[in-house]
Amino acid sequence: MLSLDFCGMAFGTPLVLLSGCVGFGEEYTRVQGFANSDAGAVCLKGTTLKPRLGNPPHRIAETWMGMLNAIGLQNPGARKVVDEYLPKLDFTETRFIANVCGSTVEEYEEVTRIFDDSPIDAMEINISCPNVKEGGVAFGNDPDMSARVVEACRRATQKPLIAKLSPNQTHIAENARRCIEAGSDALAVINTVMGMAIDVESRRPVIGNNQGGLSGPAIKPIALLKVHQVYQVAARHKVPIIGQGGITTAGDALEFLIAGATAVGIGTALFYDPLVCPKINSGIVEYLKRHQMAHVTGLTGTLRLYGDGGEECSG
């Protein structure tokens, strides 16, 4: 009931463990009862061409119903990940997806090429990275730059490419369209929402980078809307979506599937419940049985809107 085909990859369940939350695939295997096989795929930590030390502390701050993080893409570099980390993974357990990062279009292409020559199953393109040649503006906030990055990565591999879309932009559906036309096989919706926390005693930001990405239940309503908006474009091209942002229960996962996701990402929830995946899987199966549905894929995009579903003015 839970298995599915995602861009030619066989997923045992619709759950995907999100990049930055499970290290390079081995981090949670030390937890008794945890198994990578409870997820259809595991996204490895964001990887650049050369090693990076990341941002100064503090890097993480707990917020109301969420978490801010500004790790700064600390990683050992793509070549070391391929040579030393991937051989330790059991590719019979689940699918493993690399998370490709870069400061230039050329770096994205080179990292993709390195992972192409490896056992990795697919690549997620993190287009939320800052573009050093354009004053630090994130690639993912500009549809033209997003398309250029996807095109470059497409030149470097025939493996499935998943463009990870940022909510910090004006028109996410247009960006999705451009990424699809540039060669993205799937979309991950959404990345973190930018936010800040302030220490009132020192009157300084809590995060050493001043701002960070907000994840957790606080962003779930935003993520759901963005998945619904992107689905309007992706469905026409038969491009699947990994819906993500604040999923902690089976009910949350079901909402994302109904909104248009084919698979759903689990991230921040793992920090306080490493064994959450079996619970979510069981909840989805129970729902399918209760509604007499044979397969989880029958849920994707079944949202029924009121009226014309048009946008409303806020405030």
Residues labelled as active-site residues: 129
Please tell me the distance from the alpha carbon of residue 27 to that of residue 13, in angstroms, as a whole number: 20
HSE-up of residue 168 (Cα within 13 Å, Cβ side):
17
Contacting residues for 308 by C-beta, under 8 A, at least 6 apart: none
Q: For residue 143, what are the CA distances in angstroms to 11, 160, 162, 213, 225? A: 30, 20, 15, 20, 19
Nearest partner of 188 among 236, 135, 146, judged by Cα: 146
Residue 80, token pair as written in the block? 């070391």
What sign does the dihedral 17-22-23-27 (CA atoms) show? negative
CA dihedral 244, 248, 254, 260 (to 10 degrees): -10
